[in-house]
Structures are given as C-alpha cells and as structure tokens.
Amino acid sequence: MSAVHLPAEYEPPVPAEELSVRSADGIRLHVEVHGQPGAPTVVLAHGWTCSTTFWAPVIRELSDRYRVVAYDQRGHGHSEIPPSRARYSTRALAEDLSAVLARTVPAGERAVLAGHSMGGMTIMAAGGRPEVADRTAAAILISTGPADLVAELTVLPPGVRSPGLRRFLHRQLLRSRLPLGPVSPVSRVALKYATMGPGSPAGQVEATARIVHACPTAVRANWAAVLDRLDVRAGLARLAAPTAVVVGTADRLTPPVHAHRMVAELADPQGLLLLPGVGHMSPLERPAEVAAEIHRMAATHLVGGAGSADRPESADEAANEPADEPADERTAVA
C-alpha cells in the first residue's frame, strides 16, 4: 500500500518496533509496537478497509502507560494480500490474531484486546481458541456485530421501506467492486454519511477517507463477501474473558442493536458504553473515550486494579466510570 497522507493531527506515531509475523497459512502480517517496553500490553485490531493508521489517536492516548501492539489485517495496510478468495475467512482472522498474540505476548502473560468493526469480529471469531484465551485478560468490542450485518444496516434512507429491497441494495453496496478512486468532495460527503456521525469535523472525515480509499478494491470486495455471510455468534458465546462493548448511537454500519445483542450473549459482560452522535468510526471520532474504556478494562483486569495504571482523570471520565457497576449501560458525555 502506498503512503497515506493525513492531516497532521491524525498522522500515526512512529512505532518503537515493527515486526513481520506469519499466520498459520503463511500470510505475512505487519505488526507495530508502540509505547512503553515492559508495560502491560494492549492489542488493537482494526476494521474493514482500515489499517494501523486508523488507531493513531487511540495509540497516542494509551502509549504513555501501555505497550500498544497494532497490526494490519491481511490485505490491509502493509500486510500481505492473500493470493485467493479462499484465504479470506473468519477462520483466517482468528488465526491471524493468534499468530500476532503468540509473537507479541510472551507465554504466561496476557493482554487486553480491543477490536473495531472487523477487528471486533476477529476477537469473536477467536472465541474459545485456547491459545488466544490464554493470552487474553479482557476484551473490548467496538462498533461491531456478530451476524446479520446486511439485515441491520441503516445506510439507505428510510424511504426504502421494503425489507427485501433494502437487504438487496445494502448487499450490492457492501460487495461493490467499483474502485473508490481519489478522495473528492463527493466521496467525503458519502463516506461521512455512511460511516461517521453528523458532527464529525473536516479533519476526521479527511483522515477516514484517505485511510479507507487506500484499501485495494479487491481486498475490500473479498472481505465484504465474508462480512455478507458473517456469523461469529458461536465464538461470541465462547468468549470467556471479561468483555466491554462500545458503540456510537449514530452508527449506520453496525447499529446499537448489535451491541445490545452482544452484551446479552457474553459470558462476562463488563458494560455497554454508548457514544452519543458518534458513527461507525468511533476510535477516530472519539479517541479519548475509546482509550478511556480500554484503560478501564486494562486497569481492572490486566494490572490488578484501577490504581495500578493510574493517570489523572478528567471530570468526564470519572463520571463515566462507575467501578462498582461494570456491567451497566453507560452514556459518554457528549
């Protein structure tokens, strides 16, 4: 993938280390390590059409107190593009995560896993795998869903009332092989409508557009075919680690209905955080809140209590972090 030129505030930090990790089928994955050597580890898995660059604002929020590992999903960013459609599957996602954890989390240690969109589906797909469970202290599922993605999309305007027609049109949109082309005023407007909250500033929209448009057309389409028939509910039910869920109330791609279903199916739910007015790209739209939720889970489940990874809390964070009621639904301060 060629370099993605972003607005300065969204430029990714320089990693402390870069690794090349081979998955079970030989696909090479690009892995970055940021933050503090020897600190508790957080592993970030990005979503469809994104890359490690997508996590830049969250990495900056976390890297002063954690060792942050981020990797490019196969076909994305600097990772190898699979040579055939058969190499695109939820099993491949789970095996890629397993390979990254085996390389970056030493045996006997654990990390907090955070997955956005397809990254969350990756964590669910790996649910029940012993080699993943052994290295997982907790998980955060962000703007994601386990199944029925096409049926629940709300990208088309409500004027299209026929459920069958909506599913058909959404499927055609999802699986389109049309190249996105260069970022343009029209593509910015379309992408913002489909993937971001209405209040997203121009810099966020520009960063999102440049990251998404950098994804190769064939990779986008091949993963879309996987998402079209996605069903990782069995893995979700086997996900034993304490798990929190985050979603924006204006998410059109994985609406809050998925978040509520996931919380109901989790073995150890640790709360649902609703981000008012936020769309599907929540880690880019509200990085401070997403990072605070990762910190909450890491402080509680990875480093032995909220005091072990302390940093000064803002008034908003303190208001949104009821430690005695971790399974409650919470709404971030807008």
Banded pLDDT at 154 (limits 50, 70, 90): confident
Closest CA to 101 of 25, 35, 36, 19: 19
Q: Mean pLDDT for the chain?
A: 88
Q: Binning pLDDT at 50, 70 and 90, where does residue 322 land?
A: very low
Note the pLDDT tens digit of each residue in 173-207. 665 666 677 788 988 998 998 999 999 999 999 99
The shares of helix, strand and coil residues in the chain, as percent rounded to the nearest 5, are: 40, 15, 40
More confident residue, 71 or 167: 71
Q: How many CA atoms lie within 13 A of 3 on its CB side?
A: 4
Q: What class has domain 8-331?
A: alpha beta
Residue 76, CA atoms < 13 Å, CB-side half-sphere: 28
Give mean pLDDT, residues 15-29.
98
Which tokens go with 223? Answer: 């993963």
pLDDT tier at 153, thresholds 50, 70, 90: confident
Give residue 151's pLDDT band: very low, low, confident or very high (50, 70, 90): confident
Residue 251's pLDDT band (cuts 50, 70, 90) = very high
SS3 47: coil
Does the reported pTM lie above 0.75?
yes
Half-sphere exposure of residue 271, counting CA atoms within 13 Å on the CB side? Answer: 21
Confidence bin at 306 (pLDDT 50/70/90): very low
Distances (CA, A) of 61 to 7, 77, 150: 18, 22, 33
d(CA 96, CA 250): 30
Record the tokens describing residue 221, joined without a space.
Answer: 């389409």
**Region label for 128, one of left (φ > 0), alpha (ψ between -120 and 50) or beta (otherwise):** left
Task: Say what percent of the chain tops pLDDT 90.
Answer: 73
What is the band of 308 on the pLDDT scale with cuts at 50, 70, 90?
Answer: very low
Check: CB of residue 224 under 8 Å from CB of residue 110: no
Mean pLDDT score, 98-127: 97
For residue 145, how far is the Cα from the chain centroid? 11
DSSP character at residue 147: B
Q: CA 299 to CA 173: how far, in whole Å? A: 40
Answer yes or no: is pLDDT of 171 > 80: no
Beta-carbon neighbour count of residue 325 at 10 Å?
A: 9
Q: Give 329's pLDDT tier (boundaries 50, 70, 90).
A: confident
Q: Percentage of the chain with pLDDT > 70?
A: 83
Measured from the Cβ of residue 252, the count of other Cβ atoms closer than 10 Å reads 18
* Choice between 215 and 169, residue whose per-residue pLDDT is larger: 215
CA–centroid distance for 18 within its chain? 20
Which contiguous run of DSSP H or E holds residue 248? strand 243-248
CA atoms within 13 A on the CB side of 67: 18
Residue 248 has pLDDT above 90, yes or no: yes
Question: Where residue 261 falls among pLDDT bands split at 50, 70, 90?
Answer: very high
Give the strands of the sheet with 243-248, arranged side by side: 17-22, 28-35, 67-71, 41-45, 111-116, 136-142, 243-248, 269-275, 329-331
Distance from the Cα of residue 332 to its chain's centroid: 18
pLDDT at 107: 87
Confidence (pLDDT) at 79: 98
- Does the pLDDT at position 325 exceed 50? no
Phi, psi of 11 (to 5 degrees): -65, 135
Task: For residue 82, give every residue at least 6 positions away whose Cβ sits within 8 Å of its Cβ, in sequence order, or none.
Answer: 27, 74, 75, 88, 92, 222
pLDDT at 321 over 60: no
pLDDT exceeds 70 at position 117:
yes
Q: Does residue 144 register a pLDDT over 60? A: yes
Stretch 256-268: mean pLDDT? 97
pLDDT tens-digit map of 26-69: 999 999 999 999 999 999 999 999 999 999 999 999 999 999 99
Buried b (16+ CB within 10 A) or exposed e, 218-232: ebbbbbbebbeebeb
Contact assessment for residue 131 and residue 98, using Cβ atoms and an 8 Å cutoff = yes
pLDDT at 175: 58
pLDDT at 3 over 80: no
